[in-house]
Amino acid sequence: MSLENFAIWLSESPLSIALTDFEIAFPAIESLHVIALTLVVGSIALVDLHLLGLAWRRRDASDLMRSILPITWLAFAFALLTGLLLFAANPISYSANFYFLAKLSLLVLAGVNMLAFHLFSHRHLATPGALAPKLSGAASLTLWLTIVTFGRWIGFTL
C-alpha cells in the first residue's frame, strides 16, 4: 500500500474523524507532543554536550547516560504516540509535506547515529580526546536540532 493510499484510508477512519470533530484534541495532543519532544531533545543534548567535552567533564559518560537515557526513551515513546495521533488528524496533508517526510527521515538517521555510537564510538569513551565520541555527539546534536526546526516548519507549510 502506498503512503498516499494509506493516508486516504486513515483519513476516513473513526480515529481521524474523531480527532478533527473534537476541536480541542489537536491542540491538546500537539502540546503534549511539544512537552515530550522537549524532554527527548533536551536529555539527548545533555549527553551530546558531554561527548563534545563542553559539559560535566568530570562525570563518567557511561554513568551519565545510565541516568539520562531511560528518560529519553520514555519521552521518545510519548513523542512517537502523540506524533502518530497528530498525523492521524490530517494524514493526506502531512504525507505530502516535505518537512514532515524530511523530519521522519532525519529521525531514522538519528537512530542510526545512536546505534553506531553504541556499537563503535562508545568503546573509545575512556580514551582522552578520542574523536569518534565527539563526532557522534556533533552529528546527534545537528540532527536533533534540524528535526525540531523541520517539525516547526510543518505547520507553516501545510
- Residue 109: CB partners within 8 Å, gap ≥ 6? 143
By beta-carbon proximity to ligand HEM, the closer residue of 82 and 121 is 82
By beta-carbon proximity to ligand HEM, the closer residue of 138 and 146 is 146
Residue 29 C-beta: closest distance to ligand HEM, Å = 9
The contact set with ligand HEM (CB under 6 A) reads 30, 33-34, 37, 40-41, 76, 79-80, 83-84, 86-87, 94, 107, 147-148, 151-152, 154-155
Q: Angle of helix 14-21 relative to helix 3-11, nearest 10 degrees?
A: 60
Residue 119 C-beta: closest distance to ligand HEM, Å = 21
- The answer to whether 148 and 41 have CB atoms below 8 angstroms apart is yes
Q: What is the DSSP string of 41-60?
A: HHHHHHHHHHHTTSS-TTS-
> In this structure, what are the phi and psi dihedrals at residue 89, rounded to the nearest 5 degrees?
-75, -25
Residue 50 C-beta: closest distance to ligand HEM, Å = 20
Residue 3 C-beta: closest distance to ligand HEM, Å = 12
By beta-carbon proximity to ligand HEM, the closer residue of 49 and 80 is 80
Q: How far apart are CA 115 and CA 10, in angstroms?
A: 31
Burial class (CB in 10 A: 0-12, 13-18, 19+), 40: buried
Nearest C-alpha neighbor of 33 from the set 67, 65, 66, 81: 81
